[in-house]
Amino acid sequence: MKKLLLVCSAVLTFSSFVFAADKATQPLLSIIDDDTEFVVKTPRGPVAITRVMTSCAKNMGWLQAMVVDMRRHEDRIMGTIPGSVSIPYTEVVKQMEVFGCKKNRDSYDCKDAKKVYGFCNGPVCPQSPLAMTAMVKKGFPPEKIYYYRGGMLDWEALGLTIEVDKR
């Protein structure tokens, strides 16, 4: 239990806001005042993220191109962050090759791992923290895991564009 709490603590340390990134390399998500949209590139083409100004929506941040929706497929069908990749929390460890890891017998060699930005339903949802803990146990470097703690709850509260997954 102590080990699990340490891993969760490490994951949370890297997770204040998944879209916060190095200002020098990431475009500003500047859709406040007169700005009305921000375009992100997705595997299906560009998606315009727009904002409906809500009382929670008066802030700024930065976007990353790859985000992993770690929720169940049933949740994703109701709406997700545009351009996110769907890998449910119960399947993340089985698909770590997607993130640049190579499978060994019981673990993974993740020296070439990509950064993983994960989210689920919101601050009290356990799905992405469980997935991230399992990833670390299998050899994924915790410093390459970023957790968007607010999840879909905050995304929607901020009035940001939601993409419907038509599976």
Could you give the 3-state DSSP secondary structure of residue 12?
helix
CATH, domain range 2-157: 3.40.250.10
Cα–Cα distances in Å, from 19 out to 1, 23, 26, 94? 30, 11, 9, 25
pTM score of the predicted model:
0.63
Q: How far apart are CA 67 and CA 51, in angstroms?
A: 19
Q: Which amino acid is at 108?
A: Y
Q: How far apart are CA 19 and CA 17, in angstroms?
A: 5
Q: What is the pLDDT of residue 14?
A: 29
Cα–Cα distances in Å, from 37 out to 4, 30, 54, 58, 104? 40, 8, 15, 14, 44
Cβ-contact 68, 85 below 8 angstroms = yes
Q: What is the pLDDT of residue 120?
A: 96
Give the single-character DSSP code of 34. T
Q: How far apart are CA 26 and CA 93, in angstroms?
A: 28
Going from N- to C-terminal start, the domains of the chain cover 2-157
pLDDT in single tens digits along all 167 residues of the chain: 344 333 333 333 323 333 333 334 444 455 555 566 777 777 788 888 776 665 555 555 444 446 899 999 999 989 999 889 999 999 999 999 999 999 988 789 999 898 999 999 999 999 999 999 999 999 999 999 999 999 999 999 998 999 987 66
Q: What is the pLDDT of residue 23?
A: 39
